[in-house]
Structure 1
């Protein structure tokens, strides 16, 4: 279809939404949602056949406005807190799902590199973990308590210290996206290798099972959340590098805002991880094994569902699939 004919055929519904947006015409939330879907379809068509046209830029802006309009209209009847965590964040996770997948791919690629390096180089664990940590942990393994190094200090003090450290790491990953994502990649590569070396080290010293119980009780939320925070950093970097039909500054503003929302969503998981490390992990050697693994499995299933499964259900509910 020629561009002129495309505009003539769809102009009426575009103007209709402009009237709705300016409050000149009142429609129900369902009517607005249906119109949003039509506008999104027109945008996809325009991006395919008229990628450099002004009509594509116009529809891109109109689609963003319609997106905000339809979800704000639905939001009025919902608790703000519930709306944020069970509508907005899942929708953003769906919209930016490729960056979440990319973050997992990078993490696990370097996780396997870390494992291979540890098994092929006897000094690699010391280079990554440090001599003091390795020596102290070897002493603890000899004494029969491989996880003793994590049991010092008070419950409350450990909780606060761990939360502060993990939140700063997550914030660094997020803000490093400002350097077109390069800083974020560095952080995720380093942490992927470090986690791998840690597990391989305990495996080499016949304490792998103890390390699973002692680390992944809190580490499931901690590491998964870190990967999501890295994805938020990639979103910022991509908004700078790939603005699409938007002006770069406009793309950047949208990217930072949406990435920040995703980053904020990880904070409850970071708090729970710190709580588990401060109050539960230290007792992993005396707790029933089934209880330890129940915590790990529940943590993995719940956070996986929130970021990898729920977004598809919410997107389908809102007509985006």
Structure 2
């Protein structure tokens, strides 16, 4: 069968199924499971006979959406909360991976702008970070402890205060996505510019390595989580700008639910980052170099694996094995 005929023959069925999945319009899980099997069969057929077709991408995305519904409705003994992070979030991240990539690229670009601005304007760092913070940092550098600011206060007090602040930043980054994503971009710009100028400041004062060992023990997860939260905000904004074949309200409703799930998924990482900043970072100047580097490498590897690599593995596993191994009863 020619590809055009294949698409023409199944187009209405796919669109109808997509609309049902999008609006959760199913009388029972068995109906959803039955149509899902037909969809998987169409996907397998397309992969076999039209390996370079764009229809494969479409069917893959639709299959991921359908599986999320099946996963919610089928009877199982697996803990729901565990399943949320194990399967549901990775599938969402795979489906919206472009937004995650874009958020990361934009954040890094803004960080680069902050670095370049600090390098070419002697007063830029003070305008961004404030005179009090810069003066305090200079005093700490002269005292031989560039990251002494992280040693102020008690362990628990720092942990709680920092975690609440980071949660607030992430929530704001998401919520402001309602302004067509512009609000999210502003939060990204503000934080990335501060990060770039902040790191250049330490580089200029020749204590860059000391700052990295301290700041990035907690910063690896903290900054990466902000980028993921920004991606959630961009999804929210895009749901308004590009509703597709759905009403703008329905698209916004779906975008908000999706973004909230991604936002919630970052909370454990934010808590870990807060714990590291409150209890571990303060000892960065006395711990062995290999230990601080190991903590940075492990935390960065874990969160980047979860949001960038693990979703691909989950999606691949589902599309390859689910039709024959998954029990819908």
CA distance 1:40–1:111, change in 2 (3 Å) = same
Alignment size in residue pairs:
303
Tell me how far apart the structure 2 counterparts of residues 109 and 208 of structure 1 sit (CA, whole Å): 20
**Per-residue displacement from partner, 1:9-42 (whole Å, max 9, x unpaired)?**
969x97xx99x9534x95896x664234357799
Q: Indicate if the aligned counterparts of 2:68 and 2:88 stay in contact, CA closer than 8 A.
A: no
In the alignment, which residue of structure 1 is the partner of 2:284? 284
**Per-residue displacement from partner, 1:95-146 (whole Å, max 9, x unpaired)?**
1101001101110111111111111111111111111111111111111111
Q: Is 1:22 the equivalent of 2:40? A: no
What is the CA-CA distance between 1:63 and the residue it aligns to? 7.2
| Structure 2: gaps (5+ residues) | 322-329
Q: Is 1:160 the equivalent of 2:160? A: yes
Q: Aligned with 1:286: secondary structure?
A: coil
Tell me how far apart the structure 2 counterparts of residues 214 and 65 of structure 1 sit (CA, whole Å): 41
Q: Is 1:35 the equivalent of 2:32? A: no
Normalised by the length of structure 2, the TM-score is 0.82
Equivalent runs, 1:215-234 vs 2, <5 Å: 215-234=215-234
Equivalent runs, 1:168-183 vs 2, <5 Å: 168-183=168-183
Tell me how far apart the structure 2 counterparts of residues 228 and 75 of structure 1 sit (CA, whole Å): 31
CA distance 1:265–1:28, change in 2 (3 Å) = closer
What is the CA-CA distance between 1:264 and the residue it aligns to? 0.2
CA distance 1:137–1:180, change in 2 (3 Å) = same
Equivalent runs, 1:96-107 vs 2, <5 Å: 96-107=96-107
**Per-residue displacement from partner, 1:241-266 (whole Å, max 9, x unpaired)?**
00011111111111000110000000
CA distance 1:186–1:68, change in 2 (3 Å) = same
Tell me how far apart the structure 2 counterparts of residues 221 and 4 of structure 1 sit (CA, whole Å): 44
CA distance 1:63–1:132, change in 2 (3 Å) = same
CA distance 1:135–1:79, change in 2 (3 Å) = same
In the alignment, which residue of structure 2 is the partner of 1:52? none
What is the CA-CA distance between 1:66 and the residue it aligns to? 4.0
Q: Aligned with 1:319: secondary structure?
A: helix
In the alignment, which residue of structure 2 is the partner of 1:195? 195
What root-mean-square deviation, in Å, do the aligned CA atoms of Structure 1 and Structure 2 show? 3.4
CA distance 1:75–1:116, change in 2 (3 Å) = farther
Q: Indicate if the aligned counterparts of 1:37 and 1:320 stay in contact, CA closer than 8 A.
A: no
What is the CA-CA distance between 1:67 and the residue it aligns to? 4.0
In the alignment, which residue of structure 1 is the partner of 2:116? 116
In the alignment, which residue of structure 2 is the partner of 1:213? 213
Equivalent runs, 1:225-264 vs 2, <5 Å: 225-264=225-264
Q: Indicate if the aligned counterparts of 1:126 and 1:134 stay in contact, CA closer than 8 A.
A: yes
| Structure 1: gaps (5+ residues) | 50-55
Tell me how far apart the structure 2 counterparts of residues 299 and 3 of structure 1 sit (CA, whole Å): 46
Tell me how far apart the structure 1 counterparts of residues 293 and 101 of structure 2 sit (CA, whole Å): 26
